[in-house]
Amino acid sequence: MNRRDFIKAGTLMKEFKKGKLIVKVMATRTEMGQVAAQDIHDRILALLAEKDEINMIFAAAPSQNDVLKSLTEYTDIPWNRINACHMDEYIGLDKDAPQGFGNFLKSHIFDLVPFKSVNLIDCSATDPEAESERYKEILKKYPTDIVVMGIGENGHIAFNDPPVADFNDPKWVKPVKLDDVCRQQQVNDGCFATCEDVPEYAISLTCPTLMRATWKFCIVPAPTKAEAVLRTLTWDINEKCPATILRRSDNAILYLEPASAVKL
C-alpha cells in the first residue's frame, strides 16, 4: 500500500460544516496529521500549477508534530518554490533557546526541506514594535497562500489570546501580553518547567493577518483542547474565543481526533 492509499484508507469518523468551516474528525491522532498533510500537499501542488511560487505560514507547537512530520515525508513537493514564515514568537528568549518557535520549526520542518526562503521573527529583538513592523513588510512581500495552524487551550490563534485578540485589528503584527491560560499551556506542552519560566510577552501575527491567507488548515489534537474546540464550534463568533473567526472564513478546514472532539 503506498502512502496515498494508506491515507485514503484512514478512518474518517465524522465530517460536517459549522458556518464556512469544514470539520474532519479522524479515528486517530496519527491519521489526523496524515490526512491534514495530504490535503495541504494537494493544495500546494494545485497552487504551484498556477504560479511560480507560493507562501506559507506555520504554527509552532507540539500539536503540529504529526502534520509537520507527514509533510516532510513527501518527496514530490517542490519546497524550493515555497517561502516560509511563522505566526508568533516569544520576546526576550536567547536566539538558541529550544523553546523559541523559530527553533522549533527549524527542527521540525524548516531545516528538513529546502524552502526557497525561511523568514523568522527575531526572538531576541530589543524593540518589539520595530520587529513587528519589519515582519509586516515580509508578510506583505509574501502574501499568504496557506496557513498551517492550531488552536490554543483558551481558543487563541497564534498568540491572539482573548484579552488582546481583535478581529478588526489594523495591525498586521504586534507585541502582545500572554494571558495566564496561554502561559500555563506552554508548561502543559512540556516546553517550560513552570509558568514563571514562560515569557510574559510575545510578537504575534494578528487575527486579520492569519485570516488573510487564502487557505487555512487547522490541526487540533489532544484532550486539553477539547473545551477550546467546543467553544470554537458553538460560541458566538467574537474575540472571547478567537478561533471562532474560522467559522466565517473561506477555505478553512479543522482537523480533530477523538480526544479533541470528545465534547462535540
pLDDT in tens, 247-262: 999 999 999 999 999 9
Paired strand residues for 56: 84, 146
pLDDT in tens, 136-181: 999 999 999 999 999 999 999 999 999 999 999 999 999 999 998 8
pLDDT, averaged across the chain: 93
Inform me whether the pLDDT recorded for 106 exceeds 90. yes
Q: Is residue 260 part of a domain?
A: no
Q: Is residue 120 part of a domain?
A: yes
Inform me whether the pLDDT recorded for 18 exceeds 60. yes
Q: What is the pLDDT of residue 97?
A: 86
Paired strand residues for 157: 160
Are 128 and 95 in contact, with CB atoms under 8 Å apart?
no
- Secondary structure element (H or E) that encloses residue 43, with its range: helix 29-48
Mean pLDDT (whole number) for 92-102: 88
180-186 LR contacts (CB < 8 Å, sep 24+): 181/152, 181/153, 181/154, 182/152, 182/153, 182/154, 182/156, 184/153, 185/152, 185/153, 185/154, 185/224, 186/99
Q: Is residue 209 part of a domain?
A: yes
Mean pLDDT (whole number) for 198-209: 94
Mean pLDDT (whole number) for 204-209: 98
Q: What is the pLDDT of residue 88?
A: 97
Q: Is residue 192 part of a domain?
A: no
CA distance 111 to 259: 31
Q: What is the pLDDT of residue 10?
A: 61
Q: Is residue 49 part of a domain?
A: yes
- Could you give the number of structural domains in the chain? 1
Percent of the chain at pLDDT exceeding 70: 96
CATH number at residue 121: 3.40.50.1360
Q: Is residue 157 part of a domain?
A: yes
Percent of the chain at pLDDT exceeding 90: 83
Q: Is residue 150 part of a domain?
A: yes
Are 65 and 108 in contact, with CB atoms under 8 Å apart?
yes
Q: Is residue 163 part of a domain?
A: yes
Mean pLDDT (whole number) for 2-15: 60
Are 102 and 89 in contact, with CB atoms under 8 Å apart?
yes
Domain encompassing residue 87:
12-176+203-254
- Type of residue at 135: Y
Give the pLDDT band of residue 102 (cuts 50, 70, 90).
very high
Count of residues making up the chain:
264
Give the pLDDT band of residue 1 (cuts 50, 70, 90).
very low
pLDDT in tens, 34-70: 999 999 999 999 999 999 999 999 999 999 999 999 9
